[in-house]
Amino acid sequence: MKNLINITDLTVEEIDELVKVALDIIANPEKYQDACRHKLLATLFFEPSTRTRLSFESAMHRLGGSVVGFSEAGSSSSAKGESLSDTVQTVGCYADIIAMRHPKEGAPIVAERRTDVPIINAGDGSHNHPTQTLTDLLTIWRSKGRFNDLTIGLCGDLKFGRTVHSLVGAMARYTGIKFIFIAPEELRFPHYIIESELESRGIEYREVGTMEEVMPELDVLYMTRVQRERFFNEADYIRLKDTYILTPDKLDPAKKDMIVMHPLPRVNEISVAVDDDPRAMYFTQAKNGMFIRMALILKMLEVTV
């Protein structure tokens, strides 16, 4: 694997290895503190981000490397009309590795053709978000100790939410996985992924309208934000934005060891009162993101420690 565009660019063995390295980084951070000395990461973010960009940048700094980049298209030459291809070709002259986020689906595929420097997709439109999935996998591993035999409920904007698309692509390769898609009619999980990842492999899934009807079954409840920026009209967003709000009482019938995940940012879909529940895992998830990105950078730069 030279570039990480889709989560399926990584084999399950490579994912196991990344998780193993991330766990070692957590246990022995000092061992890695100079691993990427004199290496340069470029973060090209054409869309807003807090966790993804800052965890990439923190990851590179904690490996002893350096970072350049921009956090909005408006501060780069794309505001002058430069094409993505030209921007990437230029940055490829400076950096050793590039993490990029772009509102257009497929943008990282354009980018990978224009440079020999490894490209990491940090989110492309409503398509994929493979490094969020690595974050999610490390979180599942640290909480559950396994990737098999899990019933995973995905709730909210399953149409435009790129994190759930990548997560399903990853989890569909393990055994004993059951998916329950919890979404309003308008925001259902894309059928093309159901066909290619689930039906082709005979993986069990259900589509339901409420979280209450499935709560007792779940090992993982993955909440998502309704993706306002992907809607064609504001009225639809307003109508759908508060379809699901997780509150402490809704967790009463859930398993005691169920985990609540969310890629963040949250808007209204998880009440802050849930944060005190030991099952709430979303801030731990954010922290895991830095460690697994450290492991990913090491792998992609072919650095051995």
Query: Active site includes 38?
Result: no
Q: Is the dihedral of CA 263, 53, 285, 13 positive or negative?
A: positive
CA proximity to 296, closest of 168, 161, 121: 121
Q: Confirm whether 113 is a catalytic residue.
A: no
- Do 180 and 218 form a contact (C-beta atoms < 8 A)? yes
Number of residues that bind ligand NCD (CB under 6 A): 11
Quote the CA–CA distance of 53 and 100 in Å, as a whole number: 9
**Smaller CB separation from ligand NCD, 62 or 165:** 165
> Which residue stretch of 7-15, 103-111, 208-216, 261-269 sits at the interface with ligand NCD (rule: CB under 6 A)?
261-269
As measured in angstroms, the least distance from the Cβ of 4 to ligand NCD is 14
Annotated active-site residue 102? The verdict is no
Residue 43 Cβ vs ligand NCD, minimum distance, rounded to whole Å: 13
The CB-of-163 to ligand NCD minimum distance in angstroms stands at: 5
Q: For the chain, what is the largest distance between any 2 Cα atoms, rounded to a whole number of angstroms?
A: 55
Tokens in use for 218? 């779940």
**Does the annotation count 188 as an active-site position?**
no
Q: Which is nearer to ligand NCD, 32 or 56 (CB)?
A: 56
Nearest in space to 269 (alpha carbons), one of 214, 208, 228, 219? 228
**Is the distance from CB of 156 to CB of 226 less than 8 angstroms?**
yes
Q: Is 263 in the site for ligand NCD (CB under 6 A)?
A: yes
Q: How far is the CB of 92 from ligand NCD (least distance, A)?
A: 24
Given the rule CB under 6 A, which of 33-41, 84-92, 168-176, 260-268 is the region that contacts ligand NCD? 260-268
Which residue number, 203 or 260, has a Cβ lying nearer to ligand NCD?
Answer: 260
Residue 32 Ramachandran class (φ > 0 left, ψ -120 to 50 alpha, else beta):
alpha
Is residue 181 within 8 A of residue 206, CB to CB? The reply is: yes
Q: Which of residues 176-205 bind ligand NCD (CB under 6 A)?
A: none
Return the residues of window 31-70 that contact ligand NCD according to CB under 6 A: 51-52
Q: 80, 191, 256, 304: which one is catalytic?
A: 80
State the nearest-atom distance from the C-beta of 241 to ligand NCD, in Å. Answer: 12
DSSP 246: B
Residue pair 286/59 in contact (Cβ under 8 Å)? The answer is no
For this structure, is 80 an active site residue?
A: yes
How distant is the alpha carbon of residue 19 from its chain centre? 15
For residue 23, give every residue at least 6 positions away whose Cβ sits within 8 Å of its Cβ, in sequence order, or none: 142
Contact positions with ligand NCD (CB under 6 A) in 117-146: 123, 129, 132
Place of tokens 């999610």: 136
Near ligand NCD in 83-112, by CB under 6 A: none
Residues that bind ligand NCD (CB under 6 A): 51-52, 123, 129, 132, 162-163, 225, 263-265
Q: Which residues are catalytic?
A: 51-52, 80, 101, 129
